[in-house]
């Protein structure tokens, strides 16, 4: 079964310095039908004007992924972690028993466009931590590459949850096929580009939820960036 969540169906917040689209309930946007998808709790598509951002604030017991599409996102946190996240890099912050951080546009002249993703962990009270690494473009252009996974699976990033994040950067006309476990569920988010999967057509900001499916087959109509979340079944 495949269910879509189109870009325009998301919640929207416009605050002058921030333009944000919320896939799931967040802040002032509340929809009891869209509280998350399994442990996937937040996908916010944020655009922040030059010089602005999110001042220091705190989190606990949450896995927070930042995926930058354009510009630079300057990160600082109470673990001592800090850097500028650029396109082609991913940051994963484990809030654990408590962490304070800020996320600011690093540029005084250009906006930053990024995805803020929250996943509820299956372990509470762990030590907070910060991971940031560059992705392998060659691996992502050849198909879905496992980027985030539980410890012991050899992914770039470790997460405290039975969840995985695969990323693909197909070129225009490229076909992808990803095997799925029918006992699990999957969330495909189109971060950039357009694609087709059977009769389904998706564009930037759209998503598809897959349940009881054994494979995902799609073709990119344009160069795309795709995020596929592999999540526990119900």
Dist CA 50 CA 109 (whole Å): 5
User: Do 14 and 127 have their domain in common?
Assistant: yes
End-to-end CA separation in angstroms for the chain: 14
User: Do 115 and 175 have their domain in common?
Assistant: no
Dist CA 123 CA 159 (whole Å): 10
This prediction's pTM: 0.95
Under a CB-based contact definition with an 8 Å cutoff, are residues 103 and 53 in contact? yes
User: Do 66 and 130 have their domain in common?
Assistant: yes
The pLDDT-based confidence of 171 (bands split at 50, 70, 90) is: very high
* Alpha helix segments (H runs only) across the chain: 137-142
Instruction: Tell me the CATH number at 227.
Output: 2.60.120.10
- Cβ atoms within 10 A of the Cβ of 149, count? 20
56-83 confidence digits (pLDDT tens): 788 899 999 999 999 999 888 787 777 8
CA neighbours closer than 13 Å in the CB half-sphere of residue 90? 19
**Residue 219 belongs to what domain range?**
138-231
Query: Where a domain ends, among 114, 135, 156?
Result: 135
């Amino acid at each position: 079964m495949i269910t879509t969540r189109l870009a325009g169906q998301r919640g929207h917040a416009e605050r002058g310095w921030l333009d944000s689209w919320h896939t799931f309930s967040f802040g002032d946007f509340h929809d009891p039908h869209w509280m998350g998808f399994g442990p996937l709790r937040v996908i916010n598509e944020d655009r922040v004007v030059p010089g602005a951002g999110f001042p220091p604030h705190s989190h606990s017991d949450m896995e927070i992924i930042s995926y930058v599409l354009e510009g630079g996102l300057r990160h600082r946190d109470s673990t001592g972690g800090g850097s500028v996240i650029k396109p082609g890099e991913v940051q994963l912050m484990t809030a654990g028993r408590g962490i304070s951080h800020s996320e600011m546009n690093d540029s005084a002249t250009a906006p930053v466009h990024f995805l803020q993703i929250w996943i509820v962990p299956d372990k509470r009270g762990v030590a907070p931590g910060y991971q940031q690494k560059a992705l392998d473009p060659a691996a992502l252009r050849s198909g879905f590459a496992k980027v985030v996974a539980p410890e012991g699976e050899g992914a770039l990033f470790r997460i405290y949850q039975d969840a995985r994040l695969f990323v693909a950067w197909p070129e225009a006309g490229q076909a992808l096929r990803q095997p799925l476990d029918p006992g699990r569920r999957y969330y495909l988010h189109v971060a950039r580009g357009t694609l087709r999967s059977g009769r389904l057509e998706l564009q930037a900001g759209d998503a598809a939820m897959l349940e009881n499916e054994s494979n995902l087959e799609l073709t990119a109509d344009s160069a795309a960036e795709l995020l596929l979340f592999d999540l526990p079944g119900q």
